Structure 1
Amino acid sequence: MATTPADQNDAAEISYGTAATRIARKVGWRQLIGTAIVLLIALMFARYSWHVPLGVDAERAFYDVRLLMTAPRVPQDPRIVMVVYTDETLEATARRSPLDRSLLAKALTNLDKLGAKGIGIDILIDEEQPEDAELIKAFQGMKTPVHLAFAANATNGVYVQPWQESFMRDFLAKLKPGNVHPTSIRIEADPDGVMRSWPSRPPGLPPLLSNAMARGEPKDDPRFLTYHGSLLYRLPQRTDRPVFSKLPIDLFALPEAAEMLRGQIQGRYVLMGGDISDVDQFDTPATRLSKAGESGTTTGLEIHATMLAQELDGRIPRHIANTALWGAAFLVIVAAVLAGFTELSAARNAIVIVGSVALLVATPLILQRAGFDTQGLPMFGWLGGWTLAFIAASSAGRALASDERRFAQSALGKYLPPDVAKQILRDPDKLALHGEQREIFAMFTDLEGFTQLSSQIAPAMVAQLLNRYLDLLSAVVLEHGGTLDKFVGDAVIAFWGAPISRPDDADRAIRAAMAMYEAGERFRREAPPGVPPIGRTRVGVHMGVAIVGNFGGEGRIQYTALGDSMNAASRLESANKKLLTTLLISGDVVARSTLKCVRPMGRITVRGRSATPMTIYEALPDCDLVQAAALTKILENFDQGDADAISSLRTMISQNPTDLALVNLLERLERIGPGGSYALD
Structure 2
Amino acid sequence: MFATARETLRRIGPVRLAGTALFLLLAVFFARTSWDLPLAQDVERLLYDVRAYRSAPTVDQDDRITMVVFNDQTLIETGRRSPLDRVTLAKALQRIDSLHPKAIGIDILIDQRTPEDAQLIAAFKTMKTPTYLAFVSAETNPDFVEYGQEEFLRAFQKSIAGGAVKPASVLFQSDRTDNVIRNWPEQPASLPPLLANSLSPLHPEFRKYTGAIRFRTPTDPERPVFSKLPVQLFTGDIPAEAFRSQIEGRYVLLGGDIFDLDQFETPATRTRGGTMIGLEVHAHMLAQLLDGAMYSSIAGWALWATALLVVAAGGMTSMIEARPWRLAPLLLAQLAVLIFLPYWAQARGIDTQQLPVFGWAAGWIIAFAAVGTASRSVTAQQRHFAQSALGRYLPRDVANLIMRDPSQLSLHGEKREIYALFTDLEGFTKLSHAIEPEMVALLLNRYLDMLSAVVLKHGGTIDKFVGDAVVAFWGAPIARADDGERAVQAAIAMYEAGEAFRRSAPEGVPPIGCTRVGLHRGDAIVGNFGGEGRIQYTALGDSMNLAARLEGASKQLKTTVLVSETAAAGASFVGFRPMGRVAVRGRSTPIAIFEPRADLPPEDVSRLTAWVRQFDEGDPQALEEIGRYSRDHPDDAAVANLVYRLGKVGPGGSFVLE
Structure-2-length-normalised TM-score:
0.55
Residue 297 of structure 1: how far off its partner (Å): 1.4
Q: Would you say the 8 A contact 1:78–1:268 is kept in 2? A: yes
SS at match of 1:352: helix
Listed as ranges, the matches of 1:321-336 within 5 Å are 321-336=299-314
SS at match of 2:166: strand
Q: Would you say the 8 A contact 1:27–1:399 is kept in 2? A: no
Counterpart in 2 of 1:146?
A: 131
SS at match of 2:69: strand
Output one character per residue of 1:283-327: Cα deviation in whole Å (capped at 9) or x when no partner: 11212211xxxx521100100101001111100112110011111
Residue 395 of structure 1: how far off its partner (Å): 2.2
Can you give the 5+ residue segments of structure 1 that lack an aligned partner in the other structure? 1-15, 403-681
Residue 347 of structure 1: how far off its partner (Å): 1.9
Output one character per residue of 1:437-472: Cα deviation in whole Å (capped at 9) or x when no partner: xxxxxxxxxxxxxxxxxxxxxxxxxxxxxxxxxxxx
Counterpart in 2 of 1:274?
A: 256
The whole-number CA distance in structure 2 between the counterparts of 1:365 and 1:343 is 32
The whole-number CA distance in structure 2 between the counterparts of 1:330 and 1:347 is 27
Counterpart in 2 of 1:192?
A: 178
Residue 21 of structure 1: how far off its partner (Å): 9.3
Is the aligned partner of 1:211 residue 2:197? yes
Residue 223 of structure 1: how far off its partner (Å): 2.4
Q: Would you say the 8 A contact 2:8–2:375 is kept in 1? A: no
Residue 70 of structure 1: how far off its partner (Å): 1.1
Match of 2:363 among 380, 385, 399: 385
Aligned amino acid, residue 38 of structure 2: P
The whole-number CA distance in structure 2 between the counterparts of 1:132 and 1:22 is 84
Q: Would you say the 8 A contact 2:53–2:271 is kept in 1? A: no
Counterpart in 2 of 1:315?
A: 293
The whole-number CA distance in structure 2 between the counterparts of 1:171 and 1:305 is 25
Q: Would you say the 8 A contact 1:211–1:225 is kept in 2? A: yes
Counterpart in 2 of 1:124?
A: 109
SS at match of 2:334: helix
Can you give the 5+ residue segments of structure 2 that lack an aligned partner in the other structure? 381-658
Output one character per residue of 1:585-630: Cα deviation in whole Å (capped at 9) or x when no partner: xxxxxxxxxxxxxxxxxxxxxxxxxxxxxxxxxxxxxxxxxxxxxx
Residue 157 of structure 1: how far off its partner (Å): 1.5
The whole-number CA distance in structure 2 between the counterparts of 1:398 and 1:355 is 25
Counterpart in 1 of 2:455?
A: none
Is the aligned partner of 1:365 residue 2:346? no
SS at match of 2:222: coil
The whole-number CA distance in structure 2 between the counterparts of 1:379 and 1:74 is 28
Match of 1:113 among 77, 98, 114: 98
Counterpart in 2 of 1:242?
A: 224
Match of 2:83 among 85, 98, 115: 98
Residue 50 of structure 1: how far off its partner (Å): 0.3
Residue 178 of structure 1: how far off its partner (Å): 0.6
Residue 29 of structure 1: how far off its partner (Å): 1.4
Match of 1:163 among 135, 138, 148: 148
The whole-number CA distance in structure 1 between the counterparts of 2:52 and 2:5 is 45
Counterpart in 2 of 1:625?
A: none
SS at match of 2:183: coil
The whole-number CA distance in structure 1 between the counterparts of 2:58 and 2:257 is 23
Is the aligned partner of 1:353 residue 2:331? yes
The whole-number CA distance in structure 1 between the counterparts of 2:224 and 2:4 is 65
Aligned amino acid, residue 49 of structure 1: S
The whole-number CA distance in structure 2 between the counterparts of 1:358 and 1:398 is 28
Give aligned pairs, total.
Answer: 377
Aligned amino acid, residue 245 of structure 2: G
Match of 2:32 among 42, 47, 62: 47
Please say which structure displays the higher CA radius of gyration: 1
The whole-number CA distance in structure 2 between the counterparts of 1:316 and 1:308 is 12
Aligned amino acid, residue 98 of structure 2: K
Is the aligned partner of 1:304 residue 2:282? yes
The whole-number CA distance in structure 2 between the counterparts of 1:304 and 1:317 is 17
Pick closer, same or farther for the CA change 1:21–1:377 going to 2, 3 Å: closer
Q: Would you say the 8 A contact 1:340–1:397 is kept in 2? A: no
SS at match of 1:82: strand
Counterpart in 1 of 2:403?
A: none
After alignment, is 334-343 or 237-246 more displaced?
334-343
The whole-number CA distance in structure 2 between the counterparts of 1:113 and 1:95 is 26
Aligned amino acid, residue 94 of structure 1: G
Q: Would you say the 8 A contact 1:211–1:224 is kept in 2? A: yes
Output one character per residue of 1:541-576: Cα deviation in whole Å (capped at 9) or x when no partner: xxxxxxxxxxxxxxxxxxxxxxxxxxxxxxxxxxxx
SS at match of 1:260: helix
Counterpart in 2 of 1:547?
A: none
Residue 357 of structure 1: how far off its partner (Å): 1.6
